[in-house]
């Protein structure tokens, strides 16, 4: 975001990101072209600078690897494993024992690749996912939202 723009929105998201007792999902929505991706990018940069960003995935219909819903959770999990040793110590043996995890349902991916390792490791962090509507997949992007809402 340009300096001085989107202040209230950025401030609100920043407050949410620092309070791990709040709801675990922050849903930023709006009409196409209203700056949601710019806000997500700015928040990601700020959280990264503060050491709070654990992982991010920015969907894009222009890049195959960034338009496939099946790649979101495995990608996020690898980023979390690179950043947090505690997460990695749980994630790595799990993936080695079951390399097919990346092909399971979105719900199982999220649970096994993200939720369980985060809980077991005690890691608290922020994960940013942007532009789900840009995913080209047989499963609608709303599938990710229903998984995140559980």
The answer to whether residue 61 is domain-embedded is yes
Closest CA to 147 of 25, 58, 28: 25
- 55 by Cβ neighbours in 10 Å (0-12 / 13-18 / 19+) ranks as buried
Q: Indicate whether 27 belongs to any domain.
A: yes
- Mean of pLDDT values over 33-61: 91
Q: Over the stretch 86-113, which tens digit does the pLDDT of each residue have? A: 999 999 999 999 989 989 988 899 999 9
How many domains, in total, are found in the chain?
Answer: 1
User: Is the pLDDT assigned to residue 2 strictly greater than 70?
Assistant: no
Phi, psi for 55 (deg, rounded to 5)? -165, 160
- The mean pLDDT value for 127-145 works out to 75
Please check whether residue 2 lies inside any domain of the structure: no
What are 64-86's pLDDT values in tens digits?
888 888 899 999 999 999 999 99
What's the pTM?
0.86
pLDDT in the model for residue 54: 94
- Residues 98, 120: Cα–Cα separation, whole Å: 18
34 inside domain? yes
Give DSSP secondary structure letters for 4-19.
TSSHHHHHHHHHHHH-
Domain that holds residue 53: 7-148
pLDDT category of residue 6 using cuts at 50, 70 and 90: low
Identify whether the C-beta of residue 84 lies closer than 8 Å to the C-beta of residue 92: no
If you average pLDDT over every residue of the chain, what do you get?
A: 86
């Amino acid at each position: 975001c340009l300096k001085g723009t989107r202040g209230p929105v950025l401030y609100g998201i920043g407050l949410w990101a620092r309070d791990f007792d709040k709801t675990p999902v922050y849903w930023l929505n709006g009409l196409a072209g209203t700056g949601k991706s710019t806000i997500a990018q700015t928040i990601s940069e700020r959280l990264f600078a503060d050491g709070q960003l654990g992982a991010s995935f920015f969907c894009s219909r222009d890049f195959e690897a960034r338009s496939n819903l099946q790649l979101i959770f495995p990608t996020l999990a690898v980023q979390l494993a690179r950043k947090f040793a505690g997460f990695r110590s749980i994630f790595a043996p799990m993936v080695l024992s079951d390399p097919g995890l990346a092909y399971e349902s979105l719900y199982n991916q999220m649970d096994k690749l993200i939720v369980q390792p985060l809980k077991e490791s005690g890691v608290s962090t922020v994960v940013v996912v942007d532009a789900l509507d840009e995913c080209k997949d047989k499963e609608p992007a709303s599938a990710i939202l229903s998984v995140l809402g559980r």
